[in-house]
Homo-oligomer: A and B are copies of this chain.
Amino acid sequence: MRILDAARQEFGDRGFAATTVRDIARRAGVDPSLVLQHYGSKAALFTAAIQLPAGEPSEAAEHLAEVLKVRAGPLPPEMRALVRSMLTAPEASDALRGHLDERIANLAAAIGGPDAELRAAVAVSSILGLTVARHFLRLRCVSSVSDDDLVRVASRALSAGLAALPSQPNHFEAESEAPQRDDGDAG
């Protein structure tokens, strides 16, 4: 597991292409050839490194607030590695697409109404954008704000987008665990 952890770190820091097998071996404190004896190739190691723990999305997808909270805090290494390479490594692109498509389908079923799938996709894409802006691009306002503040503001935006039609019931805010006190803290 030491090699796999090192791989996730390196892939998460610099992406698939820029990470060398020697980098991973150095961080793991072993010989480069050992890495390939264990995983066969750099690509196979990458595939192993970006595997997400299953089960999580299907349960929590209806509660977008959960996902948002998770994305506000520090990213798990495998997710970090996956997102880092999603634009340049087809393997990562495919894996993330599958992950998000599943999450969108669940969310769409939960919210219902016209354009449910599209509205769900917009919400999930927005969280992806926030994740990128916060943890990778380090966009000034998004990366410096506290987890709570980000979740609070983004929650409002996402719930509004999911509801879309004012007459529609708002599953997102309704099923959020804490009732989010509306103290007008404007400072």
A interface residues with partner B (beta carbon < 8 Å): 14-15, 17-18, 83-88, 93, 96-97, 100-101, 104, 114-115, 117-134, 136-142, 145, 149-150, 153-154, 156-158, 160-164, 184-186
Contacts of A128 in B (CB 8 A): 129, 132-133, 137
In the assembled complex, the CB of A126 is this many whole angstroms from the nearest CB of chain B, namely 4
| Partner among B87, B96, B97 whose Cβ is within 8 Å of the Cβ of A83 | B87
| Partner among B157, B163, B164 whose Cβ is within 8 Å of the Cβ of A126 | B157
Given A93-B137, A126-B125, A138-B97, check contact A87 B119 (CB 8 Å).
Answer: no
Count of chain copies = 2
The reply to whether A153 and B122 contact each other, CB–CB distance below 8 Å, is: yes
Given contacts A14-B88, A87-B88, A129-B131, 10 further A-B contacts (CB under 8 A): A83-B87, A88-B88, A93-B136, A118-B142, A121-B141, A122-B142, A122-B153, A125-B139, A156-B164, A157-B162
The reply to whether B87 and A86 contact each other, CB–CB distance below 8 Å, is: yes
Contacts of A104 in B (CB 8 A): 139-141
In the assembled complex, the CB of A78 is this many whole angstroms from the nearest CB of chain B, namely 16
Contacts of A114 in B (CB 8 A): 184-186
Closest 9 CB pairs of A and B: A129-B129, A157-B161, A160-B160, A126-B126, A114-B186, A17-B17, A15-B88, A121-B141, A125-B133
